[in-house]
Structure 1
């Protein structure tokens, strides 16, 4: 986001336009128009970095204006933020279907508006950075699509899953399989390691995240559910939203097309179930590594405590042996010292008293020894 970024504001309400312009004019080059027709004409001749588009307008409404922008090669890449007092999930789904990047409620909050614009422009820059790499991948995927049938796509996908080392690789394999079916959408994976929300090109937009949040909140009911002209797959740790895949196909739809969409839903469900299995396997592998680390730590701790206990006992035995040797030497020296009987008794008693005092003091460490023994026994159960 820079001062050179050009933002087109489209709203039929002059007061709203003035408020939007006042909020953004210090950070962007702002252009204002009051209709969808004017917006299309400007975008056909000028370059804009982003459009803030009112939904409810006379003539062309925001959704139709956005669809026409996206249909024109020159303006197709301009991100659109819808601005409306209608913020239900159905309205947001219409905005998503029309090609919007985010949805802003009326009346708008200036801080929220600026944050949404910053995020959308950052995502656009990231998409442009990855565009070259993505085009190469897409060309490779599309070149093989004609050679692989529906069952072949699933089999190839399962083969790729076996080598996926993290959630991002699982998501990439799933999107490649979707693209072979001519489908697109957004995905959320929630596992032991992390949670990530992606589309085929980049992290999910704010609007895509809100749709996935809606799917995630639907904890009851079928795992596969219609969302307007689209379909959501809610499988616990994996959520997938597929655009332009209808569950409710209606009587007007051609039978062959209806059957093809039915098979597509079944195939996508198999893709999601495969992702679930691989995510679970990755989580199990992570848990096994963590358990191995814990067991190694337990083993090191047990060995250290066992060594401390052995050293303590050895020290106690050594001190006792030293006192016993000292007492024996003193008693044997009585013959050469010329001490009286009472003096010999005094020295002998004194030595025994001190030896007993030291041994008594060391005996108190038995409580520590007993505690260490209990700890070692407990650690042995986890090794």
Structure 2
């Protein structure tokens, strides 16, 4: 039932109004408006029935005051007065009255007007409820759209992350916009890495993350919530359990965010492994290149040494030919043997140079492949 406040300095009039309305309304009566402001601080009636002629402030003045106060301005005021002229009604209308009932009134007419006002208020309250619901829905939609935009920005930003710590730091930045206090644990390449916004994570927090990681996608305990994926888990320490709308949106958004984080972690893991292999291959190529350079210098030294050795041997043999009783044909034959072996040694060196060219081409191709 709706509440009605009747104000009249005649107790008899109040008694009549109370008897007419008490079966359908919660009725309160006041013989003056002196304490009206104090009364309204703890009681807001749906309807006010107001006499015009009263000691102190008259009904018109009281009505103007009510309409000037934001908290009371929407309460419909019905004047119940013996003044029945057009001028009086216009004054009441100008003061902000909803209706004007003349005393003495016919009971059926009085009840009909109050009941009509009751139906009008039902309609107004429904419109107000619909508006509030629509406004709340719109605000939730706007909040959801803003949160979705934040998630999309996060997914775009983590593409540029080149370390696991950078991924965790970008997650902290995003969670901060949601007002969440979070810890992050990443599991990659046989390692377990735990992070907090200030860099230091408590051993107990790290232990809780590890234990919760195998207990399902969401693990809830009061304001604590753990969200688990294969490579990443988060520990939310201040879930807004008192706001079911926000709580629900956070749970809806977390899978998208962590799916994106995990995809980046997988790619980053592969990139890091590939970079390690690339570094190892570069190191091997550098070693091979260094070994070839060293071999080249040794071959040059050997060529010079062999050439000097053959030249010396030829000189010695030419000197000894005079002391040997050899025919000219025999001398020529021996000199040809020495010259042929000299040419073979030169050929061996040329083959070594060709092999060096081949190795250099292989090294160039390896370097192009890994770079």
Give the TM-score category using the shorter length: 0.3 to 0.5
TM-score, structure 1 length as denominator? 0.43
Q: Which has the higher contact order (CA 8 A, sep 6+)?
A: 1
* Structure 2 length-normalised TM: 0.44
- The structure with the larger Rg is 2
